[in-house]
């Protein structure tokens, strides 16, 4: 009987530890990943927010640059623009995010006002330890 209780307790503990490990991502700031893009072997950019989803309208987002081990990469400046190509009678749309640096190098907090739901192309440029540009597809709901 005692052994059974011990095994049950161990199972509960290991499930708890596994759960915590899998919950990773950007857990330090409580942010959930919306999308990420591996730029090189040692540089990944991640767009996240509190919900893990973009929405139509005004919202807060986080843009972070990390290396292969998930540590922040020293990026001193970054820009983020949301572009939607022209579709039929609808003209091309551009909604730029305002980004500001945070206490963590390579992590930027920002605001953007997306003018409609749908598929957007996040256009990102960055400068610092590494400099370049990338894009990723994201959806606003
Ligand atoms: Cu549009």
Q: What is the pLDDT along the chain (141 residues), one digit of tens a residue?
A: 555 655 555 555 444 444 444 444 444 568 999 999 999 999 999 999 999 999 999 999 999 999 999 999 999 999 999 999 998 999 999 999 999 999 999 999 999 999 999 999 999 999 999 999 999 999 999
CA of 92 to the centre of ligand 1 (A): 7
Model confidence pLDDT, tens digit, residues 85-123 = 998 999 999 999 999 999 999 999 999 999 999 999 999
Number of domains in the chain: 1
pTM given for the model: 0.78
CA of 72 to the centre of ligand 1 (A): 33
The answer to whether position 111 is within a domain reads yes
Instruction: In whole angstroms, give the CA distance from residue 13 to residue 98.
Output: 43
The answer to whether position 63 is within a domain reads yes
Q: For residue 65, what are the domain limits?
A: 30-140
User: Helix (H, G, I), strand (E, B), or coil: what is residue 50?
Assistant: coil
Write the DSSP symbol of residue 118: E
CA of 116 to the centre of ligand 1 (A): 6
CA of 130 to the centre of ligand 1 (A): 32
Instruction: In whole angstroms, give the CA distance from residue 121 to residue 9.
Output: 48
Nearest to 134 by CA among 62, 81, 58, 71: 81
CA of 14 to the centre of ligand 1 (A): 47
Helices (H), the chain: 2-22
CA of 89 to the centre of ligand 1 (A): 10
The answer to whether position 25 is within a domain reads no
Q: Looking at residue 19, what is its pLDDT?
A: 44
CA of 59 to the centre of ligand 1 (A): 17
């Amino acid at each position: 009987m005692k052994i059974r209780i011990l095994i049950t307790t161990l199972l509960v503990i290991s499930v708890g530890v596994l759960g915590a490990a899998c919950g990773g991502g950007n857990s330090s700031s409580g942010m959930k990943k919306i999308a990420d893009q591996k730029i090189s072997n040692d540089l990944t950019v991640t767009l996240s927010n509190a919900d893990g989803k973009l929405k139509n309208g005004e919202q807060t987002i986080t843009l972070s640059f990390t290396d292969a081990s998930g540590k922040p990469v020293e990026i001193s400046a970054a820009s983020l623009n949301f572009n939607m190509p022209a579709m039929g009678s609808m003209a091309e749309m551009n909604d730029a995010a305002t980004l500001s640096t945070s206490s963590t190098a390579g992590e930027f907090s920002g605001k953007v006002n997306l003018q409609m739901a749908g598929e957007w192309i996040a256009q990102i440029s960055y400068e610092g330890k590494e400099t370049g540009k990338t894009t990723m597809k994201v959806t606003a709901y």
